């Protein structure tokens, strides 16, 4: 049973029309034979304590939701410090990733000539506004 996406509500809600009943018995039976093999694959991955997945950090760590293992991947596997280039407010993810790809994760290691994001005008001093 699922919501029928073709249903259009009139003045009154029609529960019978809102939901669609679909028999998926045939589809489930076709997939059933693969279940033991898939379960064995899961067991193999979970029991392997030496070969961790090696997926680099990136936007996928937070989108569409923050990954449950983000802390482990970032702090343990990649040794990203608690305060890093990813902590800089308003730097922008593209610049954060650009620094990370250069091997720069610690704020103190950002080169002096690295072009940071300009501060919004309301936070700039009068002298800074004249330069812009």
> What secondary structure letter does DSSP report for 5?
T
> What secondary structure letter does DSSP report for 53?
-
Residues sharing a CB contact under 8 Å with residue 60, sequence separation 6 or more, in sequence order? 67
Mind listing the pLDDT tens digit for each residue in 17-50? 999 999 999 999 999 999 999 999 999 988 988 8
DSSP 77-110: IS---SSBGGG-TTS-HHHHHHHHHTT--BGGGS
Total count of domains within the chain: 1
78 cis-preceded (ω within 30 degrees of 0)? no
Find the domain containing 91 and state its range.
2-131
Total number of residues shown for the chain? 132
Confidence of residue 54 (pLDDT cuts 50, 70, 90): confident
pTM: 0.53
99 burial level (CB within 10 Å; 0-12, 13-18, 19+): buried
Query: Using CA of residue 106, residue 111, residue 117, residue 120, what is the dihedral sign?
Result: positive
Provide the CA 52 distance to its chain's centre, in angstroms: 19
């Amino acid at each position: 049973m699922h919501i029928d996406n073709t249903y259009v509500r009139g003045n009154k809600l029609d529960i019978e029309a809102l939901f669609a009943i679909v028999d998926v018995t045939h589809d489930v039976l076709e997939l059933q034979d693969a279940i033991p093999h898939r379960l064995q694959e899961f067991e193999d991955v979970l029991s392997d304590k030496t070969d961790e997945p090696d997926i680099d950090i990136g936007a996928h760590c937070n989108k569409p939701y923050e990954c449950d293992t983000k802390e482990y991947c970032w702090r343990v596997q990649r040794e990203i410090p608690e305060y890093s280039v990813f902590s800089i407010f308003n730097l922008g993810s593209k610049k954060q990733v650009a620094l990370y790809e250069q091997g720069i994760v610690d704020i103190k290691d950002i080169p002096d000539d690295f072009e940071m994001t300009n501060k919004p005008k309301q936070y700039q001093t009068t002298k800074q506004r004249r330069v812009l």
